[in-house]
């Protein structure tokens, strides 16, 4: 695309000026403006195949699909290198890393200086959200990574369309350089005051596809606080019942905890008259409409999701979808040049692992695919994409679900007593860490609303922001929690998960309609075993009962741990939320 050049629109002019300024600092050999066309994508991948950045997969069985292998030290989001840069530390709170904006600016300026010399700089204007939507936003990412340029075409609406949507409220600016992939100088810095992101020394999607976590969550959450809406780490789905009625719900689950699987769930045989329509698998922007209903849009245009454990058995819809126009990252490669990962099924006789080494099951160390290996696929080619995906006003949300990996304690599914109690549920989320972020896997940590790594401001204020919606609407969604990850004594999952999670969604839909039965417990309304049972489901009653059990002693301990966490969040923590915690404690005490 030719640079927008002389333009009477002053916002477009300022975007071009800003890109020129960045080029003056980073000094690339040339600047290429991306238009997001298929032709451009073909050229980018052709160049990357030629220089070994991408491996062409079997074009008969995987047309237009490629494999990217990242640096072995750069395979997940780096939370320790992620900073929110403001003047005052208290603005970001204790769940974020803070860097003073002055110090960060100076540090980044030094790292950026001349960092693109010898390279091309891609300038990528992008639009997040539906066309002509009052909720959509424009950003521009400049990067010296062709892998990022090609992936951005999948993840966002790139090119003229973005420039055409530029409005008076400006655009988010993102600068990314692979640098020397120096882990000591890896920084993902966010400057909410300037709507600016600077990402250095990584080439891993979550750190460098700046439209995703950096713009759509960290910066957008700050805008949402200031403007009275929500930017959340949530999937959005439409659940269609056998009569064709569709209920839209959101689900906040931490990274690599099943959001993509739930979004693309194929109903099991015993529920084949139901369906699940995808709107988003990762991010929701929610605005109250004049009637007080939250309407949600997906800012993204593609999936950047975890591959391992996806199979024809667990999720045939995903397996079919990724067979075209997909960039895989860090999966294994079989000798017929098709991708492979753990949990896909029988492994072929010979494989190359995610680092390109020969891998023989049972003999070679480690896994063949990296546990955080990914596919990047355009959302449009998903056959069950909701027709409402493009609705500029978003879809009306009836329920919100919180969830995450808890091998113990948290019941399979249950409902909160109120909006405030639902916020407590979300704020209390403690989940087992996954490979999506660098660091130890399987360690319990607080991940309120699945936003611990993504809330761009003080989490205490964030809870206050959620609470503030009570006075603005009497049509707020019902709030639920679900946990398909409970383990039995033998260490195996008690609940079959995947497609069977539709049973839980059905209960949620029916609860919202006042139909499904529940018993009141101190943690919320828990289903009766009868209300979950469906002909053909095949899960024994005793197992369902165990999955729904509320373990009093363990919960009391959980509430104490939560109190310590809340207290650690300081003065700004909302009293109303502490009162919700007190009420839950009293509910347990009164059982004794």
Phi and psi angles of residue 327, each rounded to the nearest 5 degrees, phi first: -100, 115
Min CB(174)–ligand OXD separation in Å: 17
Number of residues this chain uses to bind Mn ion (CB under 5 A): 2
Q: Which DSSP category does 211 fall into?
A: I
66 vs 253, beta carbon nearer Mn ion: 253
Does 298 contact Mn ion by CB under 5 A?
no
Are 430 and 409 in contact, with CB atoms under 8 Å apart?
no
SS3 555: helix
Phi and psi angles of residue 210, each rounded to the nearest 5 degrees, phi first: -70, -15
Does 255 contact Mn ion by CB under 5 A?
yes
436 vs 509, beta carbon nearer ligand OXD: 436
Min CB(255)–Mn ion separation in Å: 5
Q: Which does 225 bind (CB under 5 to 8 A by kind): Mn ion, ligand OXD, none?
A: none
Q: Which residue is nearest to ligand OXD (CB)?
A: 255
Are 147 and 74 in contact, with CB atoms under 8 Å apart?
no
* The one among 77, 266, 465, 478 contacting ligand OXD by CB under 6 A: 77
CA pair distance 388, 383, nearest whole angstrom: 13
Does 203 contact ligand OXD by CB under 6 A?
no
Does 250 contact Mn ion by CB under 5 A?
no
282 vs 388, beta carbon nearer Mn ion: 282
Q: Which does 147 bind (CB under 5 to 8 A by kind): Mn ion, ligand OXD, none?
A: none
216 vs 247, beta carbon nearer ligand OXD: 216
Within 10 angstroms of residue 189's Cβ, the number of other Cβ atoms is 24
Min CB(82)–ligand OXD separation in Å: 11
CA pair distance 168, 147, nearest whole angstrom: 31
CA pair distance 176, 197, nearest whole angstrom: 8
Number of residues this chain uses to bind ligand OXD (CB under 6 A): 6
Task: Choose one: 89-97, 282-290, 312-320, 518-526; the region binding Mn ion (CB under 5 A).
Answer: 282-290
CA pair distance 401, 200, nearest whole angstrom: 35
Pairing, β 98-100 against β 82-86: parallel
Min CB(586)–ligand OXD separation in Å: 35
**46: burial class by Cβ within 10 Å (0-12, 13-18, 19+)?**
exposed
Binding mask 264-303 for ligand OXD (x = CB under 6 A): ------------------x---------------------
Does 304 contact ligand OXD by CB under 6 A?
yes
**273: burial class by Cβ within 10 Å (0-12, 13-18, 19+)?**
exposed
C-alpha 497 chain-centroid distance:
20
162-167, Cβ contacts within 8 angstroms, sequence gap of 24 or more: 162/125, 162/126, 162/127, 162/138, 163/4, 163/12, 163/15, 163/125, 163/138, 165/127, 165/131, 165/132, 165/136, 165/138, 166/9, 166/11, 166/12, 166/15, 166/138, 167/11, 167/138
* Closest C-alpha among 198, 85, 79 to residue 453: 79
Task: Choose one: 253-261, 292-300, 410-418, 581-589; the region binding Mn ion (CB under 5 A).
Answer: 253-261
**467: burial class by Cβ within 10 Å (0-12, 13-18, 19+)?**
middle
Task: Choose one: 119-127, 280-288, 419-427, 463-471; the region binding Mn ion (CB under 5 A).
Answer: 280-288
Give the residue carrying structure tokens 């009653």: 541
282 vs 300, beta carbon nearer Mn ion: 282
CA pair distance 105, 17, nearest whole angstrom: 19
Does 144 contact ligand OXD by CB under 6 A?
no
Q: Which does 206 bind (CB under 5 to 8 A by kind): Mn ion, ligand OXD, none?
A: ligand OXD
Min CB(187)–ligand OXD separation in Å: 18
Does 436 contact ligand OXD by CB under 6 A?
yes
144 vs 282, beta carbon nearer Mn ion: 282
Does 434 contact Mn ion by CB under 5 A?
no
40 vs 74, beta carbon nearer Mn ion: 74
* The one among 255, 301, 330, 377 contacting ligand OXD by CB under 6 A: 255
* The one among 32, 144, 282, 300 contacting Mn ion by CB under 5 A: 282
Does 206 contact ligand OXD by CB under 6 A?
yes
Min CB(503)–Mn ion separation in Å: 24
Binding mask 305-324 for ligand OXD (x = CB under 6 A): --------------------
Q: What angle do CA 263, 266, 270 make, to 5 degrees?
A: 135
Give me the residues that bind Mn ion (CB under 5 A), please. 255, 282
Give me the residues that bind ligand OXD (CB under 6 A), please. 77, 206, 255, 282, 304, 436
């Amino acid at each position: 695309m030719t640079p927008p050049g002389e333009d009477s629109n002053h916002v477009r002019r300022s975007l071009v000026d800003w890109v020129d300024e960045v080029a003056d600092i980073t000094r690339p050999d040339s600047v290429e403006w991306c238009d997001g066309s298929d032709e451009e994508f073909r050229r980018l991948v052709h160049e990357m195949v030629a220089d070994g950045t991408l491996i062409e997969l079997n074009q008969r069985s995987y047309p237009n699909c490629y494999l990217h292998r990242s640096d072995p030290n750069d395979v997940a989001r780096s939370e320790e290198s992620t900073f929110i840069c403001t003047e005052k530390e208290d603005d970001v709170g204790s769940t974020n890393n803070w860097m003073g904006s002055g110090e960060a600016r100076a540090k980044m300026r030094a790292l950026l200086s001349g960092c693109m010399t010898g390279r091309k700089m891609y300038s990528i204007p992008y639009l997040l959200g539906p066309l002509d939507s009052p909720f959509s936003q424009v950003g521009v990412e400049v990067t010296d990574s062709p892998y990022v340029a090609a992936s951005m075409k999948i993840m966002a609406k790139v090119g003229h369309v973005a420039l055409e949507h530029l409005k008076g409220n400006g655009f988010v600016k993102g600068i990314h350089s692979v640098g020397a992939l120096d882990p000591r100088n890896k920084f993902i810095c966010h400057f909410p005051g300037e709507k600016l992101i600077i990402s250095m020394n990584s080439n891993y999607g979550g750190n460098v596809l700046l439209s995703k976590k950096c713009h759509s969550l960290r910066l957008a959450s700050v805008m949402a606080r200031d403007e009275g809406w929500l930017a959340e780490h949530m999937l959005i789905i439409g659940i269609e019942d056998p009569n064709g009625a569709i209920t839209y719900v959101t689900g906040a689950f931490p990274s690599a905890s099943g959001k993509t699987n739930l979004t693309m769930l194929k109903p099991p045989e015993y529920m084949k008259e139901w369906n699940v329509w995808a709107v988003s698998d990762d991010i929701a922007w929610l605005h109250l409409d004049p009637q007080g209903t939250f309407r949600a849009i997906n800012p993204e245009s593609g999936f950047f999701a975890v591959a391992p454990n996806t199979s024809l058995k667990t999720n045939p819809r995903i397996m079919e979808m990724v067979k075209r126009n997909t960039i895989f990252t860090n999966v294994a490669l079989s000798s017929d040049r098709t991708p492979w990962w753990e949990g896909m099924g029988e492994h072929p006789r010979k494989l190359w692992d995610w680092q390109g080494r020969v891998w023989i099951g049972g003999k070679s160390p480690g896994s063949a695919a990296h546990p955080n290996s990914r596919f990047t696929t355009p959302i449009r080619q998903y056959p069950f994409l909701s027709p409402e995906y493009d609705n500029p006003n978003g879809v009306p949300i009836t329920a919100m679900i919180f969830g995450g990996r808890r091998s113990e304690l948290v019941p399979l599914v249950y409902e909160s007593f109120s909006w405030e109690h639902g916020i407590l549920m979300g704020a209390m989320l403690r989940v087992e860490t996954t490979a999506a972020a660098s660091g130890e896997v399987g360690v319990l940590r607080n991940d309120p609303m699945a936003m611990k790594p993504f809330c761009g401001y003080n989490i205490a204020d964030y809870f206050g922001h959620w609470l503030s919606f009570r006075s603005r609407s009497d049509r707020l969604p019902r709030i639920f929690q679900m946990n398909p990850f409970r383990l039995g004594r033998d260490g195996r999952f008690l609940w079959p998960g995947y497609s069977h999670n539709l049973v839980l969604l059905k209960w949620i839909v029916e609860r919202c309609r006042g139909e499904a039965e529940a018993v009141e417990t101190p943690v919320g309304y828990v289903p009766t075993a009868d209300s979950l049972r469906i002909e053909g489901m095949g899960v024994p009653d005793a197992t369902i009962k165990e999955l729904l059990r509320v373990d009093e002693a363990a919960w009391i301990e959980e509430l104490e741990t939560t109190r310590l966490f809340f207290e650690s969040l300081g003065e700004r923590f909302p009293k109303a939320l502490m009162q919700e915690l007190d009420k839950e404690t009293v509910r347990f005490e009164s059982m004794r």
